[in-house]
Protein backbone atom coordinates (compact mmCIF):
# COMPACT_ATOMS: atom_id res chain seq x y z
CA UNK A 1 0.00 0.00 0.00
CA UNK A 2 1.42 3.35 -1.10
CA UNK A 3 1.24 6.60 0.84
CA UNK A 4 -0.92 8.17 -1.88
CA UNK A 5 -3.53 5.43 -1.38
CA UNK A 6 -3.61 6.10 2.36
CA UNK A 7 -3.92 9.86 1.93
CA UNK A 8 -6.65 9.64 -0.71
CA UNK A 9 -8.66 7.25 1.47
CA UNK A 10 -8.43 9.47 4.55
CA UNK A 11 -10.83 12.09 3.11
CA UNK A 12 -8.71 15.18 3.70
CA UNK A 13 -9.67 16.91 0.44
CA UNK A 14 -12.34 18.92 2.24
CA UNK A 15 -9.70 20.78 4.26
CA UNK A 16 -8.12 22.17 1.11
CA UNK A 17 -11.48 23.49 -0.06
CA UNK A 18 -12.19 25.08 3.32
CA UNK A 19 -8.75 26.70 3.33
CA UNK A 20 -9.35 28.07 -0.17
CA UNK A 21 -12.70 29.58 0.86
CA UNK A 22 -11.16 31.13 3.99
CA UNK A 23 -8.32 32.63 1.97
CA UNK A 24 -10.76 34.01 -0.58
CA UNK A 25 -12.86 35.63 2.16
CA UNK A 26 -9.79 37.17 3.80
CA UNK A 27 -8.54 38.47 0.45
CA UNK A 28 -11.90 40.00 -0.40
CA UNK A 29 -12.05 41.58 3.06
CA UNK A 30 -8.70 43.27 2.53
CA UNK A 31 -9.67 44.48 -0.94
CA UNK A 32 -13.01 45.86 0.24
CA UNK A 33 -11.42 47.64 3.21
CA UNK A 34 -8.79 49.11 0.91
CA UNK A 35 -11.36 50.75 -1.35
CA UNK A 36 -13.81 51.99 1.28
CA UNK A 37 -14.54 55.69 0.78
CA UNK A 38 -14.16 56.33 4.51
CA UNK A 39 -10.49 55.27 4.34
CA UNK A 40 -9.64 57.50 1.37
CA UNK A 41 -8.41 60.42 3.51
CA UNK A 42 -6.11 58.14 5.52
CA UNK A 43 -4.54 56.61 2.42
CA UNK A 44 -4.17 60.01 0.78
CA UNK A 45 -2.24 61.27 3.82
CA UNK A 46 -0.07 58.14 3.92
CA UNK A 47 0.65 58.46 0.21
CA UNK A 48 2.47 61.75 0.74
CA UNK A 49 4.45 60.82 3.86
CA UNK A 50 7.76 59.94 2.16
CA UNK A 51 8.02 63.35 0.44
CA UNK A 52 6.29 65.55 3.00
CA UNK A 53 8.79 68.01 4.48
CA UNK A 54 6.37 69.18 7.19
CA UNK A 55 6.20 65.71 8.71
CA UNK A 56 10.01 65.56 8.78
CA UNK A 57 10.11 68.87 10.65
CA UNK A 58 7.52 67.60 13.12
CA UNK A 59 9.67 64.52 13.80
CA UNK A 60 12.64 66.70 14.64
CA UNK A 61 14.24 66.98 11.23
CA UNK A 62 15.38 63.38 10.88
CA UNK A 63 15.68 63.77 7.11
CA UNK A 64 17.89 66.86 7.28
CA UNK A 65 21.65 66.62 7.89
CA UNK A 66 22.88 67.80 11.26
CA UNK A 67 25.41 70.65 11.33
Q: What is the pLDDT of residue 8?
A: 81
What pTM does this model have?
Answer: 0.54
CB atoms within 10 A of CB 56: 15
Higher pLDDT, 66 or 21: 21
pLDDT at 28 over 90: yes
Tell which phi-psi region holds residue 19, choosing left (phi > 0), alpha (psi between -120 and 50) or beta.
alpha
Torsion on CA atoms 19, 21, 23, 25, rounded to nearest 10: -150
In 1-67, where does DSSP find H-type helix?
A: 3-9, 13-34, 40-47, 53-58
Tell me what the pLDDT averaged over the chain comes to.
82
- Under a CB-based contact definition with an 8 Å cutoff, are residues 13 and 19 in contact? no
Q: Which pLDDT band holds residue 57 (cuts at 50, 70, 90)?
A: low
Amino acid sequence: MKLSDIMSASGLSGYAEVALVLFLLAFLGVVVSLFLPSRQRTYERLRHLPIDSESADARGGEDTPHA
